[in-house]
Amino acid sequence: MKGRNSIQFRIITGLLLILLLSVGVSIYLTTANQKSNLLDASQRTLAVNNEMLNTTIRNIMLSGEAPIANRTMEDFRKITGFLEFELYRTDGSTAFNDYDTLNFVNDYQSMVMFDQTPRVEGRSIDTEDFQQVLMNKTPVISLNEDTREMEYYFPILNFAECRVCHGDDEFIRGVSHFRISLDSIYDQVRRAGVLMAVYFVSVGVILFTWILLLMHRTIIKPVLDIGETVNIAATGNLDIQVDLDRNDEVGELAGRVNHMISGLRERRDLELQNKVIETRLEENRKYLDHIKEGLLLLNSERRITGQYSVFLTKLFMREDIAGLSLADFIYPDAERFADERRDLDGFLEMLFTNKTADMDMIMSINPLNEAVLQLDQDNE
């Protein structure tokens, strides 16, 4: 059978599907794991950098150098990968955008009076992550895969040295916000995915070719050879056999096919023998139909077969002879002729089972040898 229904086509299709599925799953799992590891590393790096930057800004602010803090933050924003770096007050406005905090500090303490310096552009923030930091007082990391960006919100706590100038009314002074680009990470994952795809496809093609050749050698070709042998046997050549000597499932199949062909050959020979036997039986039947003697044939079970003379049915005045034991046929009265029946059964047992004694000796003890049967019509 050709086309899509052939075993070879199904095997190739199945192997291709398995190969594609395996390669796809392997690439997906590997790239996903690599991406997860890179993002985790970026989060840890961002947290460390944030802690370092916050410490730097805090130390600068403790020295009362707000302009230096602003310039430092501006320089941080120029670092490759940093999209945003800002300090926000708890109300969501950017730090250093007005003089409210400066005036509060000058009014709260009288040790140092800070001068007014240039302010930054004012902005505000009110995102869900920002509010979550204020509520839980813990850092929040947000990943946006659509824009390939990561945001980090870190609470700026009101430490003891900070409370000297800012008072102790608030536990959190503000929120440090970072936003970085993850383009380099995604590009790295993409390049790794392409490299792994090339690798897995190359290995898959080699593996696919090897499996296909192995399948063709161990399964497809032997099956085709078995099919060809069956086709030849179907034409009537029952002397053919599958030439395959293997101790596996295909070898077992070949053995069964050979056994089937041998069985068909034996059946053919048996049919020929049966035809010969039937021909002989027909000849015997003609002979038995015309002979004027009472002849019958017993089988191995000591019962009368269908081969008996017509004269016998007329002599005994009955047609239901076939299938009867010889004792039942000759001595139908079992109680009256118990001894005769026993002697007859013993003789037949010896006749059918003894293979060494001389036949003349066996026939000399035949209980019917000199027996006289009284028939219903009073004839002997």
CATH number of the domain encompassing residue 183: 3.30.450.20
Output the pTM of the full model: 0.45
Give residue 162's pLDDT: 66
Residue 238 maps to a domain: no
Of 190, 222, 238, which marks where a domain is finished? 190
Residue 189, burial from CB neighbour count under 10 angstroms (0-12, 13-18, 19+)? buried
- The three-class DSSP label of residue 42 is helix
The ranges of the chain with pLDDT < 70 are: 1-5, 7, 46, 49-50, 54, 57-77, 80-81, 97-99, 101-120, 159-169, 357, 371-380
φ, ψ at 173 (rounded to 5°): -80, -30
φ, ψ at 263 (rounded to 5°): -65, -40
Whether residues 31 and 178 fall in one domain: yes
Residue 352 maps to a domain: yes
* Closest to 310 measured CA to CA, from 295, 330, 331, 327: 295
Determine contact, residues 302/345, Cβ cutoff 8 Å. Answer: yes
Give residue 95's pLDDT: 76
Whether residues 43 and 174 fall in one domain: yes
Whether residues 169 and 304 fall in one domain: no
**Which is it for strands 82-89 and 172-181: parallel, antiparallel or unpaired?**
antiparallel
Residue 243 maps to a domain: no
Rounded to whole angstroms, the Cα distance separating 314 from 355 reads 35
For the chain, the domain total comes to: 2
Q: How far is residue 296 from each of residues 136, 288, 292, 361, measured CA to CA in Å?
A: 113, 9, 12, 22
Whether residues 25 and 148 fall in one domain: yes
Give residue 64's pLDDT: 58
Give residue 379's pLDDT: 45
Residue 325 maps to a domain: yes
Residue 277 maps to a domain: no
Residue 115 maps to a domain: yes
Residue 54 maps to a domain: yes
Give residue 380's pLDDT: 44
Whether residues 172 and 303 fall in one domain: no
Give residue 261's pLDDT: 87
Residue 220 maps to a domain: no
Of 190, 211, 232, which marks where a domain is finished? 190
Give residue 10's pLDDT: 77
The residue segments making up the domain with residue 170 are 3-190
